[in-house]
Amino acid sequence: MGNFLRRTIVFAALLLTITAQANVVISGTRIIYNADENEATIRLNNNSVQPSLVQVWLDSGDMKSTPETGLAPFIATPPIFRVEPNKSQTVRLIYTHDPLPQDRESVFWLNILDVPPMPITKEADDANYMQLAIRSRIKLFYRPKNLPGSAPAAADQVKWELVHNPDGIALRATNNAVYSVSMDNAVLVAEKKEYTVNTEMLLPLSSKTFSIQEVGKLPGGTVQLNYATVNDYGAVIAHSVNLPQ
């Protein structure tokens, strides 16, 4: 395989997000950017025996974003760097002060692309291989000053209700807080039978309707909703509430 074709495969692989073990480990599952601070930081650790080239950028929710297309009012520095084996690198995130709502949190995403080195072969020009880069994405919450309430309390204050739609029964969640609520999982329990709810993050001051797996008609009586959320520190917190039908 010629050099040009091999480089083409490598370039395509850089755009691929896969489930695999990355060399670079992120020290956290989310970033809280408080408006009264000049920056937020996150540390990346290379726990492998080989170096990695890392590229970072931010976006506003586009999973297909690239360093060229990602849009967010933050600068990540350094944007690209090499991390030696068993070393770490701190990335600084700086708000550009483009206008953002001041009455609620805003959510963005930090992308970390981990590019391992090319393998060394005796016949490098004729070697056939594919180099895969691993992209990780974590949330960045921009938190304005003097917001009422608290992020931990928001998870307990979500209003849940069972609703009927053309597809059957669904679960509506209303977040009246000014903080986002990151959902981990949710299960409805009715007469000892469990129904999985397909949840996702609840933005501030918003409502979402979630589908319920394998449910046609729930048994009568009270239904229990057991759900879990993720707090600022990445811990999973359990919650439970009864939902009258």
**Is 188's pLDDT higher than 50?**
yes
Type of residue numbered 136: S
Mean pLDDT computed over every residue of the chain: 86
From the list 218, 236, 215, the residue with the least C-alpha distance to 227 is 236
**Is 139's pLDDT higher than 90?**
yes
Q: What is the mean pLDDT of residues 136-159?
A: 96
- Please name the residues in contact with 149: beta carbons below 8 A apart, sequence gap of 6 or more: 157, 177, 178, 179
Residue 202 pLDDT level (bands cut at 50, 70, 90): very high
CA 139 to chain centre: 5
pLDDT in tens, 22-49: 688 999 999 999 999 999 999 999 988 9
Work out the burial of residue 95: count CB atoms within 10 Å of its CB; fewer than 13 is exposed, 13-18 middle, 19 or more buried.
middle
pLDDT in tens, 115-132: 887 766 555 555 566 667
* pLDDT score of 14: 42
Percent of the chain with pLDDT over 70: 84
Kindly list the strands in the beta sheet with 80-83, ordered across the sheet, starting from the edge strand earlier in the chain.
Answer: 30-34, 134-143, 106-115, 52-59, 80-83
| Alpha-carbon Rg for the chain in angstroms | 22
* pLDDT score of 23: 84
Domains, the chain, ranges and CATH? 3-143 (2.60.40.10), 151-243 (2.60.40.10)
**Is 1's pLDDT higher than 70?**
no
The encoded tokens of residue 205 equal 């001051």
What is the Cα–Cα distance from 201 to 208, expressed in whole angstroms? 9
From the list 13, 113, 120, 28, the residue with the least C-alpha distance to 68 is 113
From the list 82, 86, 24, 81, the residue with the least C-alpha distance to 49 is 86
Residue 167 pLDDT level (bands cut at 50, 70, 90): confident
Work out the burial of residue 28: count CB atoms within 10 Å of its CB; fewer than 13 is exposed, 13-18 middle, 19 or more buried.
middle
The encoded tokens of residue 102 equal 């001041």
* pLDDT score of 213: 83
DSSP for 160-195 reads: EEEEEETTEEEEEEEE-SSS-BEEEEEEEEETTEEE
Using DSSP bridges, classify how beta strands 134-143 and 193-196 pair: parallel, antiparallel or unpaired.
unpaired
